[in-house]
Amino acid sequence: MVDTKPVSERRMGPVGSENWLAMLDGAEAILREEGHAALSSRRVAEHIGVKQRLVYYYFRTMDDLIVATFRRLSERELKRLAAARSSDLPLREIWDVCIHTTDARLISEFMALAGRIDGLGKEVIHFIEEARRIQTEAISEALVARSARLPMDADALALLATSLALSLTREADLGVSMGHEGAIAVVTRILDSLEPV
């Protein structure tokens, strides 16, 4: 029997259930391994071994599944950043999170989709702003503690560090290393000046 209720009124599967989490895992794996062009309810269902219609029992649309997948990923990363922020060496720990972040290809796939999926765009903006706030606070506190000054604001330094970390990761994944050693040496000098060990 076909469900004739409007999509917004349909009974949905429980958030956080085993199937719901498996679908997020499947979507994440497909995005990472095959790219967003391969992501479909059929592929997710095949990947986790369920019928395609079950995907729509848990998610009204594929966009909802993509948004939930990114939200879970961003929550994990924000927890890692918050833990780094609370450590004895927050700048070094935050840099470590940035340089060893979730797979750069996966981030690229979400960024490609963010401009087309309104809810995802909002989630990406929230994640970037929250991550930058955590980084900026750590940098600002380190500057005050060392009575140091930089030729830029803390939020600009956070943006540069995050962008550099992502570029290094993406290029390393491709096998590019030119300039990496020098860039890492600059970051190390900044860390040594703001957070000596």
pLDDT single digits (tens) 9-56 = 667 888 989 999 999 999 999 999 999 999 999 999 999 999 999 999
**Tokens encoding 41:** 């309810």
Per the structure, the complete domain to which residue 117 belongs is given by: 70-194
Residue at 49 is within a domain: yes
Number of domains forming the structure of the chain: 2
Residue 75, pLDDT score: 95
Q: How far apart are CA 170 and CA 21, in angstroms?
A: 27
Residues 28 and 114 in one domain: no
pLDDT surpassing 80 at residue 102: no
- Report the alpha-carbon angle 178-127-28, nearest 5: 75
Residue at 4 is within a domain: no
| CATH at residue 55 | 1.10.10.60
